[in-house]
Amino acid sequence: MSTNNTFNTLNRRAFLRNSSLAGGGLLIGFNLFQACKPKVIAQPAIDLATLDYNDFNAFIKIADNGAVTIFSPNPEVGQGVKTSMPMIIAEELDVAWDNVYVEQGILDTNNYTRQVAGGSQSIRFGWDALRQTGAAAKQMLVSAAAARWGVDASECTVNEGIITNAAGETLGYGDVVQDAAQLEVPENVPLKKTSEYKIMGKDTPNVDIDKIVTGKSLYGMDYKAEGMVYASVLRPPAFGQKLVSYDDSAARAMPGVVDIFTIGEKLRGMAEENPGVTGIISDSDKVVVLANSTWEAMKAKNAIKAEWEQATKAESTEEHDKILTNLLDGNKFETLRSDGNVKKALAEADQVLERTYESPFLPHSCMEPMNFFADITDEKVHLVGPIQTPERTAGMVSQLLGREVDDIHLEMTRIGGGFGRRLYGNFALEAAEISDKAKKPVKLVFSREEDMEDGIYRMSIKYRIKAGVKDGKVTAYHLKEAAVNSNMYGLVPNFFPAGAIENYQVDTAKYDSNITTGAWRAPYTNFLAYAEQSFFDELAELMEVDKIQLRLDLLDNVKPDEDERIQYSPERMKEVIKVAVEKSGWGKKPEHVHQGFVNYYCHNTHVAEVADVEIENGEPVLKKITCVVDCGIVVNPIGAKNLVEGGVLDGIGHSLFGELAFKDGKPTANNFDRYRLLRIKEAPIVETHFIDNGLSPTGLGEPALPPAAGAVANAFKSATGNRLYKQPFTKTPELLKVPEKEIIG
């Protein structure tokens, strides 16, 4: 759908009044708390707290001196929304970006919607509302200026916060802001054409970059409050264990220790009404150490002698491996999509290919360990910290404490890495229960080891794919998934190749484990893309057809107009394939360069990637990834490029090295000395290209990650002759060499 010259169809009731501000100015917005500012303000920067704003609306603040501040409502996890979302408003408001202030908003369920960082959906869901917010405010300001001049508003133009009439007279936004605040909010406001954009589509530095590089307070770990103590928690050393007893005599005698006690009772009470909470946090008692510093709290915690008992099974990776294989071999599946008759088509096929792909558990390995601040008193519940789901977290805390959710004041800090881990507020629940019991403001901080030992992991998954070929055509495709704890969400079975193959079926099965699992960057597709795209390459080899052409031929079969379940656009997918072939020099590279191709769709975005590999000392070395992305309009190109490059490198690193095994309920790695990540010297060049089609933005934080592993695996096959069926690839080093003959494994 084109975004050119669309109109605001929202009624006045959508613009929510806010009576908390007073003075001269304008405050307006729709479903998001953000800001900008026109007219250059002298350096040093003005103290925004000294400005007066008029009681108007909840999002854009414009002061009498023309200063504009946009409050960003969504959590900032490094995906750049604190920069790109205000850019959208500033574009339609028509102010100079150099004069824009941006601040982080708080949780406000009355005025803002979807304050979530997850699913690569912030820009997609905010796109229309953000533009309409800026455009409506601009119209009101122009109308106020026109009324003062006694002219029609259509005779006026705006450029960077300066309104000009036909006679050449000018007024700044600050000059008319009080008049504008008295006007009705317009209902049908024309929006800019893409050709008129001055801010969007231009490289814009991160609004927090100066604070980040100079170490100023931004992150949860930076937050401090008067009278605050630090908490470190002794948790069960293995999944399935519970606390029996503990001796804290040595710990109590250590410097800086304020108190030691247990928590867990409130959580168990909450779990009686909400059993799902135990899927993200142990219901065992835990021992809490409060101290005057993080170091003192952690040292004292390590001095506690605790006895634990095995309450539920102590699980191991070796056992999971057998369980998942048995699930794939069994017949207890939930069918998520079934077209035609897969069983019959496979039986009638001339050729059948079947392969199984395996993935391990993965931690999120965020740079900033889990932490949260809580100050619980009879009068207030004050929470501050890095959380991807502030509304959900506030709801859980209200259940835990038996307090009204409206009593909870939650502030979001910048997040030092989330990747899905901070969707789950188990650390916030702990902080709240600790503060409630201690009657003190408390800062809970995990150590790196605690972060990895008591995490919420990407689940281990196996996929088995079986395809049938009849008369040179792919006539059957059967995908089976066996996973620990949960299966792919409902839209995934409608991604490619759904609709491309007449007989198509997706079945899932799961094993319920006491190991906590959850979303990990690009859930399920982060591994499924590699499995499916590796399989299509091998299927093309079996059929003795061109790998790219096989994919294009399958896309020709897709009829989304006839099947509303289809989630992707075959035409947009063909375009990214075409551009990737062109930009990567597919099939035209020197003989020593081996290439691997992948196309994939997830999070509403189409991607194609090509990996270039060369043989050095008998082993394949990844040199370059060419990535072509159709995510619609790119709001901030430099930020978008960073997201793509980061996603590609994340996908490469974890497919090569990422693995977290369990033995007797404990992870086999608890720090980066044993959990291998991609190193700088191993990172290939990532060349990024965006499709410019003027369509509304789609997701970008996740879509570049899933295809990366498949592109690398297919390039490695080209280079070594060996197919890879297990991640991490380095777990089978014999397959990463050029053998005398092909190894199947």
Is the pLDDT reported for residue 3 higher than 50?
A: no
| Same structural domain, 730 and 654 | yes
What's the predicted TM-score (pTM) here? 0.91
Is the pLDDT reported for residue 57 higher than 80?
A: no
d(CA 511, CA 700): 31
Between the alpha carbon of residue 300 and those of residues 238, 389, 452, 458, 603, the distances in Å are 20, 32, 20, 31, 45
d(CA 411, CA 385): 7
| pLDDT, average across residues 175-197 | 91
Q: How confident is the model at residue 63 (pLDDT cuts 50, 70, 90)?
A: confident
Please give the angle made by the CA atoms of 331, 315 and 745, to the nearest 5 degrees. Answer: 60
Is the pLDDT reported for residue 54 higher than 80?
A: no
Is the pLDDT reported for residue 571 higher than 90?
A: yes
- Is-cis flag, bond preceding 728, omega within 30? yes
| Same structural domain, 115 and 195 | yes
Mark which of 204, 239, 262 sits at the end of a domain. Answer: 204
| Same structural domain, 582 and 534 | yes
Tell me the residue range of the domain where 84 lies: 48-204
Over residues 297-348, the pLDDT tens digits come to: 999 999 999 999 999 999 999 999 999 999 999 999 999 999 999 999 999 9
Decide if 21 is inside a domain: no
Decide if 26 is inside a domain: no
User: Is residue 139 within 8 Å of 189, Cβ to Cβ?
Assistant: yes
Q: What pairs with residue 474 in β-bridges?
A: 469
What's the confidence (pLDDT) of residue 182?
Answer: 86
What's the confidence (pLDDT) of residue 109?
Answer: 87
Provide the CB-side half-sphere exposure for 225 (13 A, CA).
Answer: 17
Higher pLDDT, 53 or 128: 128
Over residues 612-668, the pLDDT tens digits come to: 999 999 999 999 999 999 999 999 999 999 999 999 999 999 999 999 999 999 999
Higher pLDDT, 184 or 293: 293
Over residues 438-482, the pLDDT tens digits come to: 999 999 999 999 999 999 999 999 999 999 999 999 999 999 999
Q: Please, where are the H alpha helices in 71-121? A: 81-93
Is the pLDDT reported for residue 669 higher than 70?
A: yes
Mark which of 450, 474, 505 sits at the end of a domain. Answer: 450
Decide if 388 is inside a domain: yes
152: helix, strand or coil: coil
| Same structural domain, 277 and 393 | yes
| Same structural domain, 509 and 620 | yes
| Same structural domain, 425 and 507 | no
d(CA 74, CA 501): 40
d(CA 609, CA 557): 22
Decide if 3 is inside a domain: no
| pLDDT, average across residues 184-195 | 91
Is the pLDDT reported for residue 28 higher than 70?
A: no
DSSP character string of 449-517: HHHHHT--BBPPEEEEEEEEEETTEEEEEEEEEEEES----TTGGGSTTTTTSSEEEEEEEEE--SS-B
Decide if 290 is inside a domain: yes
| Same structural domain, 609 and 517 | yes
Q: How confident is the model at residue 525 (pLDDT cuts 50, 70, 90)?
A: very high
What's the confidence (pLDDT) of residue 742?
Answer: 54
| Same structural domain, 538 and 646 | yes
Q: What pairs with residue 324 in β-bridges?
A: none
d(CA 726, CA 513): 22
Higher pLDDT, 619 or 3: 619
Higher pLDDT, 55 or 217: 217
User: Is residue 736 within 8 Å of 620, Cβ to Cβ?
Assistant: yes
From 402, 404, 399, 397, select the one nearest 375 (Cα to Cα): 397
What's the confidence (pLDDT) of residue 2?
Answer: 36
Q: Please, where are the H alpha helices in 330-387? A: 342-348
Length of the chain: 745
Over residues 94-138, the pLDDT tens digits come to: 999 988 899 898 998 888 888 999 999 999 999 998 999 899 999
Residue 697 per-residue DSSP state: P
* CATH code, domain carrying 356: 3.30.365.10
Query: Residue 236: enclosing H or E segment and its boundaries?
Result: none
What's the confidence (pLDDT) of residue 741?
Answer: 57
Q: How confident is the model at residue 65 (pLDDT cuts 50, 70, 90)?
A: confident
d(CA 394, CA 408): 7
DSSP character string of 731-743: GSGGGGS--SSPP
Mark which of 405, 429, 450 sits at the end of a domain. Answer: 450
Is the pLDDT reported for residue 410 higher than 80?
A: yes
What's the confidence (pLDDT) of residue 743?
Answer: 54
Side chain identity at residue 235, one-letter code? R
d(CA 402, CA 723): 55
391: helix, strand or coil: helix
Between the alpha carbon of residue 178 and those of residues 154, 173, 537, the distances in Å are 21, 10, 64
What's the confidence (pLDDT) of residue 181?
Answer: 82
Q: Which two tokens stand for residue 606?
A: 């189409």
| Same structural domain, 329 and 280 | no
- Give exposure, 148-183, as e/b (b: 16+ Cβ within 10 Å): ebeeebeebebebbbbebeeeeebbbbbbbbbbbee
Decide if 147 is inside a domain: yes
| Same structural domain, 592 and 726 | yes
d(CA 691, CA 701): 16
111: helix, strand or coil: coil
| pLDDT, average across residues 373-401 | 97
Decide if 480 is inside a domain: yes
Is the pLDDT reported for residue 428 higher than 60?
A: yes
As a whole-number percent, the residues of the chain with pLDDT over 70 amount to 91
What's the confidence (pLDDT) of residue 22?
Answer: 33
Q: Which two tokens stand for residue 372?
A: 């949260």
Is the pLDDT reported for residue 42 higher than 90?
A: no
Q: How many domains does the chain have?
A: 3
| Same structural domain, 396 and 519 | no
**Average pLDDT, rounded, for the chain:** 91
| pLDDT, average across residues 156-178 | 95
d(CA 97, CA 37): 7
Decide if 414 is inside a domain: yes
| Same structural domain, 394 and 420 | yes
- Give exposure, 83-93, as e/b (b: 16+ Cβ within 10 Å): bbbbbbbbbbb
